[in-house]
Amino acid sequence: MDALTGAYREIAVPVRVFGDLRDAVAKEAGPLPAIRALHAAGYAAGVAAADELRSSPDEDLRALPAEAFWARVSDFFSRRGWGTLTHEAIHEAVGTLTSPDWAEGTAPGADDASCSFSTGFLSGLLTSLAGGPIAVLEVSCRARGDGRCSFAFGNALAIHDLYGRLVEGADLSGALASL
């Protein structure tokens, strides 16, 4: 919201801001605090952006058919230069949003998934639209050399479980099969 007008405003910045911001915060605070800070800022931005997805302030997007809802979400990000998103229901408790051209995933050289702002943004946006908490975990990232950025989302317990299985060395399919 604009402090003077109360209107929602957006600005455009070069895509490289994500890598520069991540590097600067990590240099000042350390890698883990940088991830947490970017995630928190992304979450707040996602909550604020949720109203922009609605046609009117009282529209309940949960009433849309799933295909129409995800098309609107994908269009929202695509029109703003984030990249294209494809939704897939990969498990009864977990879905994915995948992009071959995700903006935050363009800064190469990361050892780990590096779309921390996006992960928070998606969590805030989906939480706001769903009316309840939605956790998001980046499971593949172009910045670390994966062919695409992919975000798993669902309830916090399922995503925490998924994360634990991935950390233990399971691949995504195996981790999902054991949820």
pLDDT, one tens digit per residue, over 99-120 is 999 999 886 666 676 899 999 9
Note the pLDDT tens digit of each residue in 38-73. Answer: 999 999 999 999 988 887 878 889 899 999 999 999
The distance of Cα 157 from the centroid of its chain, to the nearest Å, equals 17
* Six token digits for residue 17: 């801001």
Residues 78-100: tens digit of each pLDDT: 999 999 999 999 999 999 999 99
- What is the rounded average pLDDT of the residues 20-48? 92
Q: Is the dihedral of CA 61, 66, 68, 70 positive or negative?
A: positive
Q: CA angle, corner 39, sides to 19 and 18, nearest 5?
A: 15
Confidence of residue 15 (pLDDT cuts 50, 70, 90): confident
- Mean pLDDT over 174-179 rounds to 90
Look up the pTM and report it: 0.91
Q: Cα separation of 141 and 60, whole Å?
A: 31
Give residue 37's region: left, alpha or beta (phi > 0; psi -120 to 50): alpha
CATH code: domain 17-177 is: 3.30.1380.20
- pLDDT greater than 80 at residue 138: yes
Are the beta carbons of 159 and 83 closer than 8 angstroms? no
Greater confidence (7 vs 47) lies with 47
pLDDT value of residue 145: 86
Domain boundaries, the chain: 17-177
- Cβ proximity of 84 and 74 under 8 Å: yes
The pLDDT mean for the chain works out to: 90
Cα(45)–Cα(153) distance, rounded to whole angstroms? 18
pLDDT at 114: 82
Instruction: Please name the residue that has the structure tokens 């991540």.
Output: 22
69-72: which pairs have CB atoms within 8 A and are 24 or more residues apart? none
**Distance (Å, whole) CA 103 – CA 112:** 16
Is pLDDT at 1 greater than 60 in this prediction? no
